[in-house]
Amino acid sequence: MPPSQRLFRLAILLLGFAALVGGTSLLAFRFSLAMGLAELQATGRHRLDLYATSLEREIDKYAYFPTTLGLEKDVLHLLTTPKPTPAQIEQLNLYLEQLNERAGTLSIYVLNVNGRVMATSNWRRPDSYLGEDLSFRPYFRQAMDTGSGRFFGIGTTRGEPGYYLTSALTNAQGTVGVAVLKVGLQQLEKTWSTVEAPALVADENGVVILASVPDWKFTTLKPLDDATRRAFDQTQQYNRRALNPLGVVELAELDHGARLVRLPKAGPEMVSMFPVAGKFLAQTQPLPGTPWTITVFSHQEQVREIAANRAALAGIGAAFLCILALMFNERRRHVRDRLAAREALQKAHDELERKVEERTADLSAANTRLQEEVAERTRAERTLRAAQDELVQAGKLAVLGQLSAGVAHELNQPLAALRTLSGNARKFLARGDQETAGSNLERIGELVDRMGRLTGQLKSFARKSTGKPQAVPIRRAVENALFLLEQRLQRAGVVACIDLPEEELLAWCDPNRLEQVLVNLAANSLDAMAGRPQQALDISARRQGERIEVKVRDQGPGLDEEARSHLFEPFFTTKEAGSGLGLGLAISAGIVADFGGNLTGDNHPDGGAVFTLDLPAAPAAPGALS
């Protein structure tokens, strides 16, 4: 693989790796955050219930107070008396004062049907409500209209915030006045002393009236429009407090009314062990028996931290898995490469074996062909050998044919002599000359012997020899050849001169064929010298190391240029038709070559032709022919 492609693959791999790790971390974070938020939500709901219940219980504690005042005869009496005496008022004031002290409330007072304060627990204080007209207060109107009223407000006289619980006081004639009980916030807040998360209570206007964080009090959850502010001024509900917004930023809405919000960092970050700024889960529910809502803020930081930790863990896990997968992949690739290599090796091996098989088949086919060729050649050689043998035999018979005239003459002569001698012998016997007859008969016997020798020699020459080499005495071969030609030599008046060393020369060849060659050479010499004044036939032989050299020289005209170049070619002859076939030298050369020898013809420096026979000498312990 080229380096650029490898780099690209690595980059893709790293990107995939990063995407997987990042994706897993993100998923884990989301999942963990959702789980954490769900848990936080459950805890928040639980807290919400707890805080609401305790607050409700606290309020309920005071709920019957104003109603029970209607049972007080003194109260009703004072309210129904058109012009009560100061003593009467004081008595009731004292009563209310004691009651207020005992209940631990801020103040308890009664209003007549016109909203004027007829008696109050705070009658001794200079800023007492006594005699004041509070008909503008909504809680008065609520009680007059519905029989009871609930109202959060800040006191107009002392500017003290409190929860007003009112109840219409009635007798048989109807409503005679309104009893008012003002509970201080401290009382209600007491129930929150153990809260573990910031909580607040907002009234129907969204103004925070109770909060575990002091700074939040009298802030608003939603911005107030001008009309609302004007209405507040009229009722002096919040006694002209600034009512700045708390600054809660809503981030997301979750199910079951929960919201993700951010609280601004206004004052200290921590209030009584819990953080009050940052991201929170806000849960709100209405407070039963009041138009208020209670909100609990659960800090998300821990959940986020846990989620981040889990995300990191998941990321590490994913990275680990990725590395494992990479290692596994690497291992698998390694195994695959090894398998591929093994397969390639096996393939190469199979291919090699196939080739070897092919070659073996080729070889065996070639071998078979070769064997066939060898057999064919052997057959051809055998045929050739047979043909050669036949040719040699034919050549021999041709020589015999040439000799036949001489042989006939050779036989005719003794036959004539036999006839004369036998006739004479008979005459001498008749005359009684036994001695002469005996000598004639002796002469007859000699002639028969000679004829027998000649026919024996002819028979031996004519026989088909095997051509198998053996140790052949050169002298014997030369003598036999000359014996066959004796008649021709005599007629031509040629005396053959034999020059051989004293030691017996033994050549390694077939005796019959050697004689055939010698007869051929000698006959050619006689042919060549025919009619020439000086005729001589020299046959000599010498040993040259492991060779034996036999020379046949004549005194003929020698070999002209054409004869020398075509001498051993079959059918080359200069003799007239019927005298020669031109096969003699060709057959002779073939015979000599068969024995590992050589036949050459040349002109002698002193004239005439000389033919040289070069033959192998017989081995050291030859089975010599006798």
Which of residues 228, 262, 563, 598 is near ligand ADP by CB under 6 A? 563
Stretch that binds ligand ADP, among 82-90, 121-129, 549-557, 614-622 (CB under 6 A): 549-557
- The C-alpha atoms of residue 517 and residue 584 are separated, in whole angstroms, by 8
Beta pairing, strands 506-509 & 470-473: antiparallel
Compute the least distance from the CB of residue 454 to ligand ADP, in Å: 23
Q: Is 582 in the site for ligand ADP (CB under 6 A)?
A: yes
Compute the least distance from the CB of residue 528 to ligand ADP, in Å: 3
Compute the least distance from the CB of residue 484 to ligand ADP, in Å: 16
Smaller CB separation from ligand ADP, 147 or 558: 558
Q: How many residues contact ligand ADP, by CB under 6 A?
A: 19
Q: Find out whether 212 and 272 touch, Cβ atoms under 8 Å.
A: yes
Compute the least distance from the CB of residue 439 to ligand ADP, in Å: 43
Compute the least distance from the CB of residue 408 to ligand ADP, in Å: 20
Which residue number has the CB closest to ligand ADP? 580
Q: Which amino acid is at 479?
A: E
- The C-alpha atoms of residue 58 and residue 187 are separated, in whole angstroms, by 8
Smaller CB separation from ligand ADP, 141 or 532: 532
Which residues are within 8 A (CB) of 388 and not within 5 positions of it... i.e. 6 or more apart? 590, 594
Helical ranges in 432-555 per DSSP H: 434-462, 474-484, 486-492, 511-529
Smaller CB separation from ligand ADP, 511 or 556: 556
Compute the least distance from the CB of residue 537 to ligand ADP, in Å: 10
Which of residues 208, 213, 506, 585 is near ligand ADP by CB under 6 A? 585
Phi, psi of 418 (to 5 degrees): -60, -45
Contact positions with ligand ADP (CB under 6 A) in 508-547:
524-525, 528
Smaller CB separation from ligand ADP, 178 or 528: 528
- The C-alpha atoms of residue 404 and residue 398 are separated, in whole angstroms, by 10
Q: Is 97 in the site for ligand ADP (CB under 6 A)?
A: no
- The C-alpha atoms of residue 551 and residue 523 are separated, in whole angstroms, by 14
Smaller CB separation from ligand ADP, 144 or 586: 586
First to last CA, the chain: 93
Q: Find out whether 251 and 281 touch, Cβ atoms under 8 Å.
A: no
Compute the least distance from the CB of residue 573 to ligand ADP, in Å: 3
Smaller CB separation from ligand ADP, 335 or 495: 495
Cα–Cα distances (Å) from 71 to 91, 148, 167, 538, in that order, read: 16, 15, 12, 194
Smaller CB separation from ligand ADP, 161 or 584: 584
Compute the least distance from the CB of residue 419 to ligand ADP, in Å: 36
Residue 561, token pair as written in the block: 């240029």
Q: Which amino acid is at 158?
A: R
Compute the least distance from the CB of residue 460 to ligand ADP, in Å: 22
Q: Find out whether 564 and 601 touch, Cβ atoms under 8 Å.
A: yes
Q: Is 580 in the site for ligand ADP (CB under 6 A)?
A: yes
Compute the least distance from the CB of residue 582 to ligand ADP, in Å: 5
Residue 465, token pair as written in the block: 């020899």
Q: Is 581 in the site for ligand ADP (CB under 6 A)?
A: yes
Which of residues 554, 590, 592, 595 is near ligand ADP by CB under 6 A? 554
Smaller CB separation from ligand ADP, 165 or 585: 585
Angle at 432 between CA 426 and CA 436, to 5 degrees: 65
Residue 521, token pair as written in the block: 């050479």
Tokens 């809680």, located at residue: 139
- The C-alpha atoms of residue 291 and residue 152 are separated, in whole angstroms, by 10
Q: What is the CA radius of gyration of the chain?
A: 81
Smaller CB separation from ligand ADP, 376 or 569: 569
Q: 202: how many CB neighbours lie within 10 A of its CB?
A: 25
Compute the least distance from the CB of residue 358 to ligand ADP, in Å: 55
Q: Is 603 in the site for ligand ADP (CB under 6 A)?
A: no
Q: Is 574 in the site for ligand ADP (CB under 6 A)?
A: yes
Per-residue b/e over 110-131, b at no fewer than 16 CB within 10 Å?
bbbbebbbbbbbbbeeeebbbe
Which of residues 153, 584, 590, 597 is near ligand ADP by CB under 6 A? 584
Which of residues 609, 613, 615, 618 is near ligand ADP by CB under 6 A? 609
What residues make contact with ligand ADP under the rule CB under 6 A? Answer: 524-525, 528, 554, 556-557, 559, 563, 567, 572-575, 580-582, 584-585, 609
